């Protein structure tokens, strides 16, 4: 049996698990309501008089900060709490396959949720003449950002059998990765810290990479950044699972 088919089988199960529970629907409704509410009500997408998606994407890092850990927290914690991890890892599945499959399932779920925000784009097309190229890089950036948050949540989920602990840890790590490059924070930092230090700290952050993509710039470095965050977190998850197998 090949690795791909094993991954697909687990991916399908995880995908089903979202829709077998209220998580999927609750998450989608909340995300879609908030993703629609903030840009129009708070950021004044209408009043701005510009057919741009920037007020829409502006809120994504903050929505993901709270909502993505809620999607990720059950991925391993639940398996560890109920003991199904013992089943999963003794039926010929490698930890790598399981980690990748679970991540992909959650990421596809995020992709579906994000795709359901299409009425926002349609509204803008109806109202004006938005730059669809910018919309595309915006969505791509948002998807990569969601993936990065997810990978953090996957790691914290592997570390504990308690979903609440997993959630809180994921929010904290996410908050750091978010704020480290947030302009108000970097400005504060740059008042006393040398330029290079600000750059290093900010370099860890999701924010600058997300920002450039919102401006419609598709820089390979940003894509590589997000993919390496994801890769790093998945490897760390794998190591955590392995050490749990050694410790018992």
Partner 1 sequence: MITVTALKKNFGARTAVNQVSFEVEKGTVLGFLGPNGAGKTTTIRMIAGFLMPTEGSVTVLGHDVQADPVSAQRQIGYMPERTPLYEDMTVEGFLRFIAEVRGYRGAERTERADQAIRACMLDSVRHQVIDTLSKGYRQRTCLAQAILHDPPVLLLDEPTEGLDPNQKQVVREMIARMASEKVIIISTHVLEEVEAICNRVIIISNGSVVADGTPAALKQRSKHYNEVHLSLGSASGPAVKALSALDEVQRVEVVAERDTTCELRITPKQQAPVIAAVLKAVASHGWPVTNLKVDGGRLEEVFRQITRTEDAA
Binding site for partner 1 (CB under 8 A): 1, 5-6, 9-10, 12-13, 16-17, 20-21, 82-87, 89-94, 245-248
Nearer to partner 1, 91 or 122 (CB): 91
Task: Establish how many alpha carbons lie within 13 A of residue 37's alpha carbon, considering only the half-sphere containing its beta carbon.
Answer: 7
Give the shortest CB-127-to-partner 1 separation in angstroms. Answer: 42
Q: What's the min distance (Å) between Cβ of 87 and partner 1?
A: 5
Return the number of the residue (142 or 163) whose C-beta is nearest partner 1: 163
In the complex, least distance from residue 106 CB atom to partner 1, rounded to whole angstroms: 16
For partner 1, the closer of residues 95 and 147 by Cβ is 95
CB 53 within 8 A of CB 117: no
* Shortest spacing between CB 206 and partner 1, in angstroms: 32
Among residues 16 and 231, whose Cβ is nearest to partner 1?
Answer: 16
CB of 184 to partner 1, least distance (A): 43
Of 6 and 160, which has the nearer Cβ to partner 1? 6
Query: What angle, rounded to 10 degrees, do the helices at 220-247 and 95-115 form?
Result: 140
The 3-state DSSP class for residue 46 equals coil
């Amino acid at each position: 049996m090949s690795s791909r088919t094993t991954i697909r089988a687990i991916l399908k199960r995880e995908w089903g698990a979202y829709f077998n529970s209220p998580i999927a629907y609750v998450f989608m409704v909340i995300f879609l309501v908030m993703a629609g509410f903030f840009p129009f009500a708070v950021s004044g997408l209408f009043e701005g008089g510009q057919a741009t998606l920037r007020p829409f994407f502006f809120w994504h890092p903050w929505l993901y900060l709270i909502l993505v850990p809620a999607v990720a927290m059950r991925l391993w914690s639940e398996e560890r709490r109920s003991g199904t991890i013992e089943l999963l890892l003794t039926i010929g599945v490698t930890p790598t396959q399981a980690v990748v499959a679970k991540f992909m399932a959650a990421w596809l779920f995020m992709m579906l949720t994000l795709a359901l925000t299409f009425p926002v784009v349609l509204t803008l097309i109806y109202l004006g003449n938005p730059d669809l190229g910018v919309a595309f890089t915006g969505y791509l950036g948002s998807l990569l950002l969601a993936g990065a948050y997810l990978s953090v949540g996957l790691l914290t989920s592997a570390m504990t059998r308690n979903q609440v602990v997993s959630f809180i840890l994921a929010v904290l790590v996410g908050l750091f990765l978010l704020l480290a490059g947030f302009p108000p924070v970097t400005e504060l930092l740059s008042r006393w810290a040398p330029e290079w230090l600000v750059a290093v700290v900010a370099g860890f952050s999701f924010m600058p990479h997300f920002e450039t993509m919102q401006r419609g710039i598709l820089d390979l470095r940003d894509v590589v950044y997000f993919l390496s965050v994801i890769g790093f977190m998945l490897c760390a998850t794998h190591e955590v699972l392995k050490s749990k197998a050694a410790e018992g």
